Structure formats: structure tokens, C-alpha cells
Copies of this chain bind each other. A is one copy, B any other.
Amino acid sequence: MWYRRDVIAAREFTRADLEELFEVAKYMERYARSRVDFLRGKVMALAFFEPSTRTRLSFETAMRRLGGDVIGFWGAEGTSVEKGETFADTIRTLDAYADVIVVRHAHEGAAKLAAEIAENPVINGGDGSSNHPTQAMLDAYVMWREFGAVDGLNIGLVGDLRHARTVNSLLEALTNFNVKVRLICPEFLRPRAEVLDYVQSRGLKVSFHTSIDEVIGDLDVIYVVRIQRERFLDPLEYERAKGSYRITLETLKRAKRSLIILHPLPRVDEIDHRIDATPHARYFKQAELGVPLRMSLLYLILTSG
């Protein structure tokens, strides 16, 4: 199901796809701190037109733990993009050298375009404000690992749910499972209508809330993304709102003992650093599991099984 497949949007993947991905990722965990030669002789190209630490380094680490090699660029400086080369020509060139291309770009649709151009598989490492499918796969994988299953979970999403590409992709991925989703954000930062229409048409149960306090007691997972001051027209409104979308020790007083807190990182101040030491914090574990998850992804795409 995965061999030589492009990974452009989370919505392209079925429950069976994700379960296979998760099973292989779990198996890969044993090699995530050592090395195995499953992808020896394969080269992954990174075409990162936009900055990234976590996505880039976890892909790199995953490829190297599997015995493969990595080439590419991050940031457009020092590349032929500066000389006026088209995106298409840059992708064609990487396609001539590598066996798989990971694209990150500020413009929506860049990964899809790359996939149409390249003969080799293309993985979307985040484009525009809509898609970051491998992050969504990772997010769902962390839930699956922590609770043994995604079905039955009560999941809160908090922050700027309109512009965070991880949120869009995660909502799409969650349509494959029987979960309840609480969207916690100011009204004007709700996911776009087309995203909501899509996930609800696929049967995802979502409800809307304007404060964490309303729902914290029921949640199994709370997934936090940044909420930026610049999104608010009125700075005073931001000052009033921000307490409602920030996780503090106070917030957690009414939480289930088993609640886990996820965050795609980097965070600024939307999670109090004192939370890091609590048993709820799972965002660094989440970053760590990015390696076996991406090992699984690369393995499934690059080997015919």
C-alpha cells in the first residue's frame, strides 16, 4: 500500500495505511537509537525552502539510522533558486540524484506540484498552512502508543486552529478513528469551513469551545499549537484571550491523571515550562518518536516489502 507512494496530504491515508505505518514504527523503535541497514544505498534529498529543525533533523536521523544517505538544502540561500531557477527545475534535479524527496515550502501545493514533476516519491514536509501529513501521522502514532489505540479518545485541540497546518492534517488523520474532538479557540481562529465540512462529512465528531477550562476534565489528550498576537486585530483582546489558551499548572488541576499534553514544537510560551516536569508532558517524547515514525515511513515507501 505504501511502496513508492507520494505523501502529500493526511487525507489520502486510510485507517489500514496508518495502522501498518504504526506497527512498523513500533518495530523500528528498537533501531531508533542504533542502526540497521534496511535502506543502505538509498539517498533522500531534502528540499527545504522554509526553515525547520525538527522535521529536517528527524528525517535525517531516520534515514541515517536505516543506513541511508542524505543530500539537499535547507533555506534557499546558496542554491540555484537564488539564480532564478524554477521550483520545477530544482525538483527535477533532485529527482535525478535521489530516491525520495522531502519538500518543505511556504506555499500551499508545493509538495503536490513536486510529486507531479518527480518520478521518485515525494514526501510533504509541510507546505502552506494546510498540510503537514508526517506530523499528523506522528501525532496519531503517539496517541496510539500511549493508549494502545486511538479509538475512544477525547482529544482537545487548542490555539490557532485556523492557520496551523499540523491541526488541519491531524483533523484529517483523525477521521480514520472513532474519537471526540474538542476545538478550543476564539471563534475567528476556528479551522476553515472547508476543513470542518470535510472532516464532519467523514463522521468526525467535533465541538467548539472558547476556553480550556470548559473541557479539561474530560480530555485524554490535549494538543497545543501557538496562538499569535498578530492574529488579533485588537491587542487588548489578545491580552484578555491568551489566558484561555495557555496551559499552566493551574489548568491541570481538574485534568484526568492520564491526560497527555502534545505539541508539535517549537513552542513559545503556550505551555508553562513547569509543566515539563509533570507526568502529563509528552511533547519531547513526541519529538523522539518522530524518528521511528519516519523510519517506518521511509522504509515502507522505499522497499517493496
Interface residues of A (CB under 8 A from B): 33-35, 40-41, 43, 45, 48, 51-54, 57-58, 60-61, 64-65, 69, 71-75, 77-86, 88-90, 92-94, 96-99, 265-268, 273, 284-285, 287-288, 290-291
Contacts and interface: CB of A to CB of B under 8 A. Distances in A.
Given A57-B71, A64-B69, A80-B52, A284 B93 contact: yes
Contacts of A33: 99
Given A61-B98, A83-B266, A53 B73 contact: yes
A77 B76 CA distance: 11
B284 A92 contact: yes
Contacts of A41: 34-35, 65
A64 B81 CA distance: 24
A96 B287 CA distance: 7
Given A64-B71, A80-B52, A266-B85, A287 B92 contact: yes
B57 A97 contact: yes
Given A51-B78, A52-B80, A61-B71, 15 more contacts: A33-B99, A34-B41, A52-B79, A53-B73, A54-B93, A57-B71, A57-B93, A57-B94, A61-B98, A77-B77, A88-B273, A90-B266, A93-B284, A96-B285, A97-B288
A247 to B, nearest CB: 15
Nearest to A59: B71
A100 to B, nearest CB: 12
Contacts of A65: 41, 43
B80 A71 contact: no
B288 A96 contact: yes
A132 B161 CA distance: 45
B97 A291 contact: yes
B51 A82 contact: yes
A97 B62 CA distance: 9
Contacts of A93: 53-54, 57, 265, 284, 287
